[in-house]
Amino acid sequence: MQLLCRNLDEGDRIIRQVLNIQGHAFELDNLTYNVNSNPARRYRTIPDRKPVLGSLQRMPRDRPVATLRFSFATLTIRGMQNPLILYSRTKQRRFALVE
């Protein structure tokens, strides 16, 4: 499993929760943490501008900043018209298999 997280604690918490759902134990020896030597320069919030067809255009971000929350899980099976709703945290998806 690979995660891009804001800090080590956030990644550790997410991994522990996923392993807990699966019923597996967390083993600290299997955790690898990598940090870019200069993340502020490599992954800038406001990207550089480069000339494209004669005008300066802002380049896309390498890693856009966003805060995400888990909302639902689906299972798509070939041959079935609609996906199965496994879990819905927000209750917007009806008929979830797990409440």
Residues 1 and 49 in one domain: yes
Whether residue 60 is found in the same domain as residue 77: no
Whether residue 59 is found in the same domain as residue 79 = no
Rounded to two decimals, what is the model's pTM? Answer: 0.51
Q: Which domain holds residue 27?
A: 1-64
36 in the same domain as 13: yes
Q: What DSSP designation does 67 have?
A: -
Residue 99 has pLDDT above 80, yes or no: no
**What confidence score (pLDDT) does residue 52 get?**
92
Q: How far apart are CA 97 and CA 30, in angstroms?
A: 32
Cβ 19 vs Cβ 26: under 8 Å: yes
Residue-wise pLDDT tens digits, 11-47: 888 888 888 888 888 888 888 888 778 777 777 778 8
What pLDDT score does 19 carry? 87
How much is the average pLDDT of 62-72? 79
At which residue do the structure tokens 């759902």 appear?
A: 21
Instruction: Say what the pLDDT of residue 44 is.
Output: 78
> Count of domains in the chain?
2
Same domain, 30 and 50: yes
Q: Are 72 and 93 in contact (CB under 8 A)?
A: yes
Dihedral sign computed on CA atoms, order 77, 82, 88, 90 = positive
